[in-house]
Structure 1
């Protein structure tokens, strides 16, 4: 196998992650023909087919999966090296890749990002909103430097520490039979149709687990604003973080009831592959977010 260029590995990873040449071309800012040639040359050099071509795009072969694991590790180390070298030039520079669940993005992460960006204007931040399981997988395989996720999601192997906590509440229309209560037990809500989060989200998984799969979900929505709007229109009830719901309650005909359950208080963690292997911008950002609690 001929010596690989790092740029070719980045193109290969982009094709693998996007599942198409066109998607990868847009991501790496190249023409589709150029991406196609790089992949063809890479397959010829490796002596193995790396992708299966089909009508909807491409998928990895077993050889492709093997190369993807190594390519991500190599690129992770290269990015880390470049980021570490930037600390010896005036002003911190580099790239910081963050993946976060929507709950953190809608409540407190934007403020922290704003403060960090003002202090380090030359650090380029790439931010992705994903489900907790996707965040953790992305940090493990090196696609992201830092992940923010629900603590209840299995995260073995990551260095983690507390970031924030929130309180869940039950959101109902203003004229709903439960609207007059200050608090409600979860079991008392299960007879009503629900508006839920996307399938696979940590919050929906929590609700399904505690309802013994009795939850009657009529709609799945990602946006918290749309969720509140649908409750306002009487399309169902649901559970959301109280801190996010409060501003909407002032302008919509909805009521936020305290959820009287021990699991209603949720912990949100920040995680990385390891404490020692962080790039300089990642270390600085974690230091910015970090509570006094030691990493665990």
Structure 2
């Protein structure tokens, strides 16, 4: 049984994405080569590691054991790289970071740009997911760190404060709701919405709140990103909900009105989560220090 690090990384990528094709792409590998490697692992063990179907591939019980041990091996390798990097510059480190929509659009770009410029030997794999999915992935060891809203069940994960965030309603200047200072989410569910594209963590969050009210949102159109959403709202197509930081930035150049949401879940604290911060690689701990350092300014009030 001779599995190299390429095999282990590939198998983890397949398990994370639920697809051999997507796993091969993430591993920068041709599909035929990736399939051959996984078949080689299965042949070496004499048992199947993946259940293959129309909707993708998922690990068998034996495959889950491989995933568990692959995470341990690769995590230990990252720790070794981070520690050796203190002695020898040039060793590349990788940190896998998952984030919800608000952080990935409004808060992380500047912080990560500063960090990456100061640490050219560290690469970051950043992916957007819903907060509950991030917690599951971090707890399972599929990511080093996550940025989530603190209202989600964090289980046994450790957390550190990151930023404050508030969700607000945006409407066109001439919309009847523009005269309101505050509205409840339940009172606007009959309105046509401009939503974020499928897969958006924020949109999944809003859809879940609508479902709890026994309703579903009606979308005129879906777009990618809060700023694009505000531009469509400006034309009177529908209303939308975005982080306040994005709304205020869009309002500088768009004819939109920002209206507060009175719901208790509208203001949110974003937190950085990990299984154990002390067990992270040196590269990941350095990123934690950067992300949890006091922000130069924060226009969003946590109240």
- The equivalent residue for 1:16 is 15
Match of 1:255 among 251, 254, 257: 257
Match of 1:226 among 218, 228, 237: 228
Distance 1:167 1:28, change over 3 A: closer
Question: Aligned partners of 1:208 and 1:23: how far apart in 2?
Answer: 27
Q: Is the 8 A contact 1:92 1:120 kept in 2?
A: no
Instruction: Give, in angstroms, the shift of residue 153 of structure 1.
Output: 1.5
- The equivalent residue for 1:74 is 73
- The equivalent residue for 1:139 is 138
Question: Aligned partners of 1:155 and 1:202: how far apart in 2?
Answer: 18
Three-state SS of the structure 1 residue aligned to 2:215 is: coil
Could you tell me which runs of 5 or more consecutive residues in structure 2 were left unpaired when the two chains were aligned: 295-303
Three-state SS of the structure 2 residue aligned to 1:108 is: helix
1:214 aligns with 2:218: no
Task: Give the root-mean-square deviation of aligned CA atoms.
Answer: 2.7
Distance 1:87 1:138, change over 3 A: farther
- The equivalent residue for 2:201 is 201
Instruction: Give, in angstroms, the shift of residue 123 of structure 1.
Output: 1.6
Question: Aligned partners of 2:186 and 2:125: how far apart in 1?
Answer: 40
Instruction: Spell out the pairing of 1:278-289 with structure 2 (5 A cutoff).
Output: 278-289=280-291
Distance 1:33 1:166, change over 3 A: closer
Instruction: Give, in angstroms, the shift of residue 157 of structure 1.
Output: 1.7
Instruction: Give, in angstroms, the shift of residue 281 of structure 1.
Output: 1.5
Match of 2:274 among 259, 272, 288: 272
Distance 1:217 1:69, change over 3 A: farther
Instruction: Spell out the pairing of 1:1-296 with structure 2 (5 A cutoff).
Output: 2-54=1-53, 57-90=56-89, 94-197=93-196, 198=198, 201=201, 204-205=204-205, 208-209=208-209, 212-218=213-219, 219-290=221-292
Deviates more, 1:196-205 or 1:42-51: 196-205
Question: Aligned partners of 2:54 and 2:68: how far apart in 1?
Answer: 25
- The equivalent residue for 2:301 is none
The Cα offsets for residues 141-176 of structure 1, whole Å up to 9 and x where unpaired, read as 223221111111211121101111122211112221
Question: Aligned partners of 1:85 and 1:67: how far apart in 2?
Answer: 27
Q: Is the 8 A contact 2:99 2:127 kept in 1?
A: yes
The Cα offsets for residues 88-107 of structure 1, whole Å up to 9 and x where unpaired, read as 22488522221111211221
Give the count of matched residue pairs: 291
Question: Aligned partners of 1:163 and 1:207: how far apart in 2?
Answer: 25
The Cα offsets for residues 215-265 of structure 1, whole Å up to 9 and x where unpaired, read as 533255442123213322323212211111112223333211122344321
Question: Aligned partners of 1:291 and 1:207: how far apart in 2?
Answer: 33
Q: Is the 8 A contact 2:227 2:246 kept in 1?
A: no
Length-normalised TM-score, structure 2: 0.84
Three-state SS of the structure 1 residue aligned to 2:277 is: coil
Question: Aligned partners of 2:62 and 2:71: how far apart in 1?
Answer: 14
Three-state SS of the structure 2 residue aligned to 1:214 is: coil
Deviates more, 1:245-254 or 1:155-164: 245-254
